[in-house]
C-alpha cells in the first residue's frame, strides 16, 4: 500500500444534533453509522453520547455534537501514529504524558473542534503533502481564520495565534464504542 494516505478512502463524517446523518467528503457514500444519542434536552444538559467506531476507517474523521460542541473523532493511520513524535519539537506543548494520540487508545484522537485562539472551526487536513501554510505538513488541522496549525493529535504548532492544544473532552472506550462525556 502506498505510504501516502489513500485520498479516496479519506472522509469526514458529520453527525449533527438529533439527526444521525452522514455527509461524506470523499468519493464514496459512507454506511450509516450506528450511534446512540439522547434527546436534545438531555444533550444540552450534558448527557454522554455514544458513538460506534467500527465503521470509521483509518484516516477518517467523524464530527459528533456533544454539549453543542463539535467533537472531532479521528481514526489515526499507522503512518500518522509513526509521524506524531517527529513533531514534538514543532509544537508548543508536546503533551507527552497524555499518550501519543492523547487518548488511552492510540488508534483514536478525540478533540473539541474549537480553535483555542478565537473559537473558529479548524479544518481536517490529514494529507501528508506540502501545504501553503506548511511545506512539511504531516497532516493535522488548519484554522483558516488566522492561520493556526495543529497536528493530528490536536497539538498546536509554535508561532501561531492559538495558544494551547485543542482540548480533549472527557471520554472513554467500551469495545467498539466511544462514550463522549464520561471518563472511566
Choice between 130 and 163, CB closer to ligand FES: 163
Alpha carbons 43 and 182: distance in angstroms, whole number: 13
Q: Is 117 in the site for ligand FES (CB under 6 A)?
A: yes
Member of 120, 127, 129, 177 binding ligand FES (CB under 6 A): 120
Stretch 134-153 residues interacting with ligand FES (CB under 6 A): 143, 145-148
Choice between 147 and 170, CB closer to ligand FES: 147
Contacts of residue 145, defined as CB under 8 A and 6 or more positions apart, other chains included, come to: 115, 117, 118, 120
Residue 27 CB burial class (10 angstroms; 0-12, 13-18, ≥19): exposed
Minimum CB separation of residue 179 from ligand FES in Å reads 28
Member of 161, 167, 173, 179 binding ligand FES (CB under 6 A): 161
Q: Is 63 in the site for ligand FES (CB under 6 A)?
A: no
Contacts of residue 128, defined as CB under 8 A and 6 or more positions apart, other chains included, come to: 3, 4, 5, 79, 83, 137, 138, 139
Q: Is 165 in the site for ligand FES (CB under 6 A)?
A: no
Alpha carbons 130 and 134: distance in angstroms, whole number: 6
Q: Is 171 in the site for ligand FES (CB under 6 A)?
A: no
Residues that bind ligand FES (CB under 6 A): 115, 117-118, 120, 143, 145-148, 161-162
Amino acid at each position: 500500500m502506498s505510504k501516502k494516505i489513500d485520498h479516496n478512502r479519506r472522509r469526514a463524517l458529520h453527525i449533527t444534533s438529533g439527526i444521525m446523518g452522514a455527509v461524506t467528503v470523499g468519493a464514496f457514500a459512507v454506511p450509516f453509522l450506528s450511534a446512540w444519542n439522547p434527546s436534545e434536552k438531555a444533550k444540552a444538559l450534558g448527557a454522554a453520547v455514544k458513538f460506534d467506531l467500527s465503521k470509521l476507517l483509518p484516516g477518517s474523521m467523524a464530527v459528533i455534537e456533544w454539549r453543542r460542541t463539535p467533537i472531532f473523532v479521528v481514526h489515526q493511520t499507522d503512518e500518522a501514529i509513526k509521524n506524531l513524535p517527529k513533531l514534538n519539537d514543532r509544537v508548543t506543548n508536546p503533551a507527552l504524558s497524555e499518550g501519543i494520540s492523547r487518548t488511552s487508545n492510540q488508534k483514536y484522537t478525540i478533540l473539541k473542534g474549537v480553535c483555542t485562539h478565537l473559537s473558529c472551526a479548524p479544518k481536517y487536513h490529514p494529507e501528508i503533502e506540502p501545504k501553503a501554510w506548511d511545506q512539511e505538513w504531516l497532516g493535522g488541522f488548519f484554522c483558516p481564520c488566522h492561520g493556526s496549525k495543529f497536528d493530528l493529535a490536536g497539538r498546536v504548532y509554535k508561532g501561531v495565534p492559538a495558544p494551547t492544544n485543542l482540548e480533549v473532552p472527557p471520554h472513554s472506550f467500551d469495545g467498539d464504542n466511544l462514550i463522549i462525556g464520561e471518563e472511566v
